[in-house]
Amino acid sequence: MITANHQSWVDILILQRLFNRRIPFIKFFLKRELIWVPFIGLAWWALEFPFMKRYSQERLKKHPELKGKDIEVTQKACEKFQHFPVSIMNFLEGTRFTNQKQAQQESNYKHLLMPKAGGLSFALNAMNGKLHQLIDVTIVYPNGAPRFFDYLCGKVANIKVHIRILPIDAALLGDYHNDPEYRAHFQQWVNTLWQQKDAQFDLLVTSLD
């Protein structure tokens, strides 16, 4: 499992370049609706990216029989990953960072948006204990988050990246929606991860080239 802060679509290219031939090919958990995106959706499907089917709390209240179906569907989509190595990417912030989004969220972090612990828990549990290490990546663009086209044109001269590897143990697996004790433990673990990332961001910003 790979986690990273998210500032630009360039992040994906940076991750693929850094880890090319160093870890298994990176795949993303995608919302099922994205399979209908022209061209790209078909490419994701052909590359066997896992598509998640999520149900809102409102729909679950109206249709309790759907409870747990999202995990079942995603686990089935990931069954093929049990037979060969795979790396799964999860942007915990759920969207790219902007100062406006940070203000709207009233984020607790200086450089980051609030992490979505439930999404990471969902992904780990969907893989049913098959992921054993967390690669935590902090990406900093000293001159500001670049546009995708600028990167492709070679206009992004300075990028700083910090990588660390953490174990994924059994304590990080559980029923996020129905087990309050596990949910509190997992949220605290994610919050600590993000506090450390925020501090690392500061170190990268102030470090010499």
Number of helices (H), then strands (E), belonging to the chain: the values are 8, 7
Number of domains present in the structure of the chain: 1
Q: Which residue has the tokens 């795979």?
A: 86
With tokens 């059994």, the residue in question is: 170
Domain that holds residue 185: 2-206
* Segment 58-90, tens digit of pLDDT: 777 787 776 766 666 666 766 777 677 888 888
| pLDDT < 70 stretches in the chain | 53-57, 66, 68-75, 77-78, 82, 208-209
Please tell me the predicted confidence (pLDDT) of residue 110. Answer: 94
Where would I find the H helices in the chain?
10-19, 40-46, 57-62, 69-77, 99-105, 117-126, 148-152, 180-206
Residue 69: its pLDDT value, please? 67
The residue assigned the tokens 């795949």 is: 27
